[in-house]
Structure 1
Amino acid sequence: MSNQLFTAVVIIGLAWTSASFSQDLEPRNYLNLPIDQSFVLVATAYSEGEMNAAPSVPLDDAQVEIVSTVAGFARTFELAGQLAKFDASVGVQCFDGDGFVDGVFAEASRCGSLDPKVRVAWNFYGAPATTLEQYTLNDLRGTVVGTSFQVGIPLGSYNGDKLINSGANRWFFKPEIGASHTWNTWSVDAAFSVTVFTDNDDFIVDRELTQDNIYALQAHLIHLFPKGVWLAIDANYFWGGKTKKDGIGSADLLKNSRFGATLVWPVSPRHLIKFLAHSSLATTVGNDFNTYGIAWQYRWGD
Structure 2
Amino acid sequence: MKIKKYHRKKGAWLWVIAATLFLAGTLCPPQSHAQLPARFYWKTLSGANAVPLIVESVSGNTNPFDPAHSVSADADIDATLAMMGYAKFFPLFDRASMAAIILPMGRISGDTTVAGVAFSQSAQGFGDPTLEFVINLFGPPAQMNIPDALRYEPGFSVDLLVDFMVPIGEYDDDQALNIGQNRWYGRLGMPIIWQLGSWVPGRRTTLEFLPVVWWFGDNDDYVGQTMETDPLFQLDAHLTRDFTEHLWGSVDGTWYSGGESSINDIPGEKLNDAGLGLTLGYQINDNLSLTVSYKSTINDDAPDDLRMDNFMVSFVYGWHKLIEGSRRLKDE
Q: TM-score, normalized by length of structure 2?
A: 0.80
In structure 2, relative to structure 1, the CA distance for the partners of 1:107 and 1:204 (3 Å cut) is closer
Q: Which residue number corresponds to residue 67 of structure 2?
A: none
Q: Which residue number corresponds to residue 80 of structure 1?
A: 93
* C-alpha displacement of 1:287: 5.0
> Take 1:294 and 1:134, find their aligned partners in 2: how far apart are those partners?
33
Equivalent of 1:96 in 106, 109, 112: 109
Answer yes or no: is 1:14 the counterpart of 2:62. no
> Take 2:93 and 2:307, find their aligned partners in 1: how far apart are those partners?
42
Equivalent of 2:210 in 162, 174, 191: 191
Equivalent of 2:276 in 259, 282, 288: 259
Q: Which residue number corresponds to residue 235 of structure 1?
A: 253
Q: Which residue number corresponds to residue 38 of structure 2?
A: 27
In structure 2, relative to structure 1, the CA distance for the partners of 1:109 and 1:243 (3 Å cut) is closer
Q: Which residue number corresponds to residue 210 of structure 1?
A: 228
* C-alpha displacement of 1:189: 1.0
Q: Which residue number corresponds to residue 242 of structure 2?
A: 224
> Take 1:226 and 1:4, find their aligned partners in 2: how far apart are those partners?
14
SS of alignment partner, residue 269 of structure 1: coil
Answer yes or no: is 1:117 the counterpart of 2:117. no
SS of alignment partner, residue 89 of structure 1: strand
Residues 114-138 of structure 1, C-alpha deviations (whole Å, 9 max, x = no match): 1110110001221311135223454
> Take 2:293 and 2:281, find their aligned partners in 1: how far apart are those partners?
9
Q: Is the 8 A contact 1:25 1:234 kept in 2?
A: no
Q: Which residue number corresponds to residue 3 of structure 2?
A: none
Higher share of residues assigned helix? 2
SS of alignment partner, residue 3 of structure 1: helix
* C-alpha displacement of 1:58: 11
* C-alpha displacement of 1:249: 3.3
Answer yes or no: is 1:273 the counterpart of 2:290. yes
Residues 267-300 of structure 1, C-alpha deviations (whole Å, 9 max, x = no match): 1111111111111123475751211111111112
Unaligned runs of 5+ in 1: none
SS of alignment partner, residue 279 of structure 1: strand
Q: Which amino acid aligns with 2:29?
A: L
* C-alpha displacement of 1:37: 0.2
Q: Which residue number corresponds to residue 156 of structure 2?
A: 143
In structure 2, relative to structure 1, the CA distance for the partners of 1:102 and 1:254 (3 Å cut) is closer
> Take 2:189 and 2:132, find their aligned partners in 1: how far apart are those partners?
11
Aligned-residue Cα RMSD (Å) equals 2.6
* C-alpha displacement of 1:4: 5.5
Residues 47-83 of structure 1, C-alpha deviations (whole Å, 9 max, x = no match): 123349xxxx996632222111110111110011110
> Take 1:286 and 1:119, find their aligned partners in 2: how far apart are those partners?
30
Deviates more, 1:79-88 or 1:42-51: 42-51
SS of alignment partner, residue 61 of structure 1: coil
* C-alpha displacement of 1:170: 0.6
Q: Which amino acid aligns with 2:260?
A: K
Unaligned runs of 5+ in 2: 1-13, 64-69, 199-203, 322-332
Q: Which amino acid aligns with 2:316?
A: Q
Q: Which amino acid aligns with 1:48?
A: S
Deviates more, 1:93-102 or 1:180-189: 93-102
Higher share of residues assigned strand? 1
Please tell me whether Structure 1 or Structure 2 has the larger radius of gyration of its CA atoms.
2
> Take 2:52 and 2:40, find their aligned partners in 1: how far apart are those partners?
15
Query: Percent same amino acid among aligned pairs?
Result: 21
* C-alpha displacement of 1:251: 3.0
Q: TM-score, normalized by length of structure 1?
A: 0.87
